[in-house]
Amino acid sequence: MATISERLLGSPAGSFTDLELSRAYAHDGTGIQALLSFSQMQTKVRSPEKISIIYDHIAPANNSETANLQHELRDFSKETGMNFYEIGEGICHQVMSEGVCMPGEVVVGADSHTCTLGAFGAFATGVGATDMAAIWATGETWFRVPETTGITLEGRLKGRAEPKDVALTYVTRLGMDGATYRALEFIGDGAGSLEMDGRLTICNMAIEAGAKAGLFYSDDKTVSYLSEFGKTAERQETEDCTYAGELHLDLDDIVPVISAPHRVDNAAPVDKYEGTHLDQVFVGTCTNGRYEDLKRFADIVKGKKVAVRTVVVPASKRTLLKCIGTGVLSDIVDAGCSIGTPGCGPCLGAHMGVLGEGEVGLSTANRNFKNRMGVGAEYYLCSPSTAAASALKGEIADPEACR
CATH number, domain of 169, equals: 3.30.499.10
- Residue 108, beta-bridge partner list: 24, 125
Q: How many separate helices (H) and strands (E) can be counted in the chain?
A: 14, 18
Rounded Cα distance, 205 and 84, in Å: 26
Neighbours of 83 (CB within 10 A): 17
State whether 1 and 145 are in the same domain.
Answer: yes
What is the reported pLDDT for 124?
Answer: 98
Do 261 and 249 lie in a common domain?
Answer: no
Is 308 in a helix, a strand, or coil? coil
Domain boundary pick from 224, 254, 284: 254
Q: Residue 393 carries which DSSP code?
A: H
298 and 227 part of one domain: no
Among 212, 195, 214, 196, CA closest to 204: 214
- With beta carbons less than 8 A apart as the criterion, state whether 123 and 215 touch: yes
Give the pLDDT of residue 403: 64
Tell me, what's the pLDDT at 393?
Answer: 97
Please report the pLDDT score of residue 217 as a whole number: 98
Q: What is the 3-class SS of 67-85, one letter each residue? A: HHHHHHHHHHHHHHCCEEE
- My answer on whether 119 and 73 are in the same domain is yes
First to last CA, the chain: 45
Q: Do 126 and 114 contact (CB within 8 A), yes or no?
A: yes
- Asked if residue 337 and residue 231 are part of one domain, the reply reads no
CB-based burial, 162-177: b 16+ in 10 Å, e otherwise = bbbbbbbbbbbebbbe
Domain match, 199 and 293 both: no
Within this chain, do residues 232 and 264 fall inside the same structural domain, yes or no?
A: no
Burial class (CB in 10 A: 0-12, 13-18, 19+), 271: middle
Residues of the chain with pLDDT under 70: 403
Please tell me whether residues 228 and 369 are part of one structural domain.
Answer: no
Statement to judge: residues 209 and 302 lie in one domain: no
* Per-residue pLDDT at 75: 97
Query: In whole angstroms, what separates CA 142 from the centre of its chain?
Result: 24
Tell which of 254, 269, 285 closes a domain.
254
Q: What are phi and psi of 316, to 5 degrees?
A: -160, 165
Residues 79 and 113 in one domain: yes
pTM: 0.96
- Among 254, 289, 313, the domain-final residue is 254
CB atoms under 10 Å from CB of 40, counted, come to 8
Q: What is the C-alpha separation between 217 and 237, in angstroms, rounded?
A: 7
Are 57 and 350 contacting, i.e. CB atoms less than 8 angstroms apart? yes
Query: How crowded is residue 325: how many other Cβ atoms within 10 Å of its Cβ?
Result: 9
What are the backbone dihedrals phi and psi of residue 2, each rounded to the nearest 5 degrees, phi first?
-100, 150
Beta bridge partners, 310, equal 281
Give the range of the structural domain holding residue 264, as residue numbers without chain letter.
Answer: 257-402
What is the DSSP secondary structure assignment for residue 271, as one 8-state letter? Answer: G
Same-domain check for residues 234 and 354: no
Residues near 150 by beta carbon (within 8 Å), at least 6 away in sequence: 185, 187, 243, 245, 246, 247
| 328 in the same domain as 244 | no
Q: Structurally, how many domains does the chain consist of? A: 2
